[in-house]
Structure 1
Amino acid sequence: MNSSSLPESRSGAIDFKDFTRRRMLHVILPLFIVSIIAFLDRVNIAYAGLTMKENLPWLTPEIFGMGAGIFFIGYVLFEVPASLLASRFNAMHWVARIMFSWGIVCVLMTTMTTEWEFFLYRFLLGLCEASLYPVIYSLLIPNWFLPRERAKAISLMLTSLLFSNIIGGPLAGVLLDTTFFGLHGWRTLFIVEALPAVIFAFIFAFWMKEKPEEAAWVTDAEKEYIKEELAKEEAEKQSVKKYTIWQALKDPKVLRLALIYFLWVIGFWGFSFWMPQVLKSLSGWPPSVVAWSIAIPMSAALLVQVFCGYSSEKRNEKRWHVATTLFVGTIGFIATPHSPSPEISLLFICLTAVGVYGGMGVWWTMPTTFLSGAAAAGAMGLINSSGNMGGWVGPYMLGFINGHTGSFTYGYYVMGACMFLAGLLILTLPKSMEHKED
């Protein structure tokens, strides 16, 4: 994201390199940290599941899959209304509210003793996290970054999902063997990883700024420049087609994006929630080794995600960048159950991780090429909600199949097919969705 990607207007008054560096420090870095916290609190159940059955004998594969996935029922029910509501308030304060809420719910997870409490707390966690990413994608990033900058900005921010997995596995391995205020194992994992959400909620409420004009670290020339360029972008979008919220929700492109994301997320979350147990089953390694080993596929996926963001911006192309990663994930899903050794199983899991994570940053720049404002928030809420229904289907489907067959094989086949179909549908999107961020 260098100065060459920005128009030359007012270039004499603005040091674009320094301005980009400051936006990365003051905007992307805090969002990066929030995303790490959110993802850790969402998926730490995957690592807790390695030992929870020792204290919770009712935790069958079906119940675990249902509990992991029911997060997305709460997420889906509140995603669109919460996203629309967030567009009426200060977005940074909204993020603060979200963080504080889910931090409290994660603390409550340590008290569960029945399957219904498990389901309730996972549902509430999804409810509390609703609107986080749509607010980031459709309000905060567009407020601070010009169209051609967004693919890279979002890709860099979304590497947080992979960083959270890179650190999440080893951290879980340590916390599962740690006693914290009388709590041990998975309970320690939940409460320790909940605390950062509560702390950062106050930081966001009192320090973060929603728009450049509110920030003291942005010069007057930079504020005026960003304001003018974003106004031009908005006028250009409105001159093509003026979208209301409801028109956006009925747009065929929006509905197709929602279907693509639904299929993708079946694989994404089915893989993420069950990955530690799948690797343990295939390798026979102890939980601590499994937790540390997961850093390897997540590191590979991180490199690919960053590369996709840079390559997409350089080539001004989105569809093939996203579709190719999905096809790689298909290969990983189909091959993993047939691994002849623990090392090969880890290699195939690397391919799967690249597939489910690699194109995510580029993907989230596609809706904003033709949507803006409240319409963008509502449409992206619909896409996220529709897609995240797959977040319930994937984990539960994999748990159901494993519970009835004793194997993950057929579940992995289904997820591979979903990834393949999502890749094909990506290629049917109009090329115009790639070029409006010029």
Structure 2
Amino acid sequence: MIRNCSVLVVPAQGECRVDEYQDIVTEDGVIDEVMPTRAYQAEPDVEELDATGLIAVPGLVNSHTHSPMVMMRGAAEDLSIDDWFNRKIWPMETNLTPERVRVGARLACAEMLLAGVTTFVDHYFHADQIAAAALETGIRADLAPTFFSSTGADGREAAYQAARDIRALDVPRITASLGPHAPYTVTDEDLARTAEVARAEGFRIHLHAAETAEQTRSSQDRHGATPIEILERTGVLDAGALIAHGCGLTDSDFRILANHAARTTVAACPKVYLKLAMGSTTPIKQLQHAGIPVGVGTDGAAVHNTLDVWESLRLLALTQKQREQSAEWMTVSDTLRLATRGGAAAAGLPNDLGAIEPGRRADLALLDLSGPHNQPLHDPRAALVYSTRASDVVTVVVDGNIVVRDRELVTADLSDILAEARAVAHTLVDLSRGGAVQHYAP
């Protein structure tokens, strides 16, 4: 029982609102009731949490990230996208080991939970270790074990098996997707094989596509098709896909995506597009006109530097206004909806997450907006989009369990997580061994 809070109400359409003096009743990990304060008398064995002065928001969803890349935070700055991949990141990733991935994933889970992110949608290597970190810390996750075609059939099949193994954990808050990297690093044959496995076994596919206009032009020159056309002809869109970025979509791509709208979502990570000077951002207005749900993500901290979805949603609103040259586009309500309901769709759980409503999973965060950067509080919705900091998060609940209480992680020892990360981080950014896991030449 969460007592006496304000509640951010996020409808499927229209304006969000804030209802004051509310109680939230949860049972067995599900929201049972949202009602005026003291309208319900709790039984003696019900835990009560006093949330006076706090606002409850649906738990944020990081719709696309590579969580263990927190270990490379700040190690690849002021580089073009080509050099970022080829001189830094893909050479660094030759240093990946299961243990190093586990250390990074623990740090990432802690960072996200403390910032009110209750679910993350991940795409990375050694995904079993990311699952272990998510299980330990209590966060919700959808994990896509990543592969390149350069690793051969064995690497591809190992990634599929990793997804099966995560599913076999049989923990409802840990789900799995298939994770081919992108159409420019995965062959049509491997994409088609992935689509077959996805359809046969009920997986979704999470991959990068049309990240930049340059990638799209290169794909047309080399393959006679845009990345989205490749996803259509290989069956990926028919199987169901979460597409990261989509900044290089063409007019014909929107028509194709509209035909697969029931099984397609897109994740936008605006800070990355600014930092790598990628030329454009995710065309959210056009995607919404095509019926495609869009979520907000951070991508990896090796480029985004944080896993702070508050920062991402703020930049999303600003860059979308700039893109459309309209201050009236991407309202605070629309932005909050993308970070909550849009994120739920990106996580593959559109009916379970994304709103504080009876019947949905009890994933939420309680924030204190009394700080000077939020005051005076004329409109708490505007504060959530344009002023809120991760440090405003006080308490976090995932699946009905308190995982952050009074700004402290309660499911794991943060000092241990930080000490472990500091001890290992230098091994991840070491470039002395040479080589790279892949070469960026889309």
Q: Same fold (TM over 0.5)?
A: no
Q: Give 1 or 2: higher strand fraction.
A: 2
Shorter-chain TM band: under 0.3
TM-score (norm 2): 0.23
TM-score (norm 1): 0.23
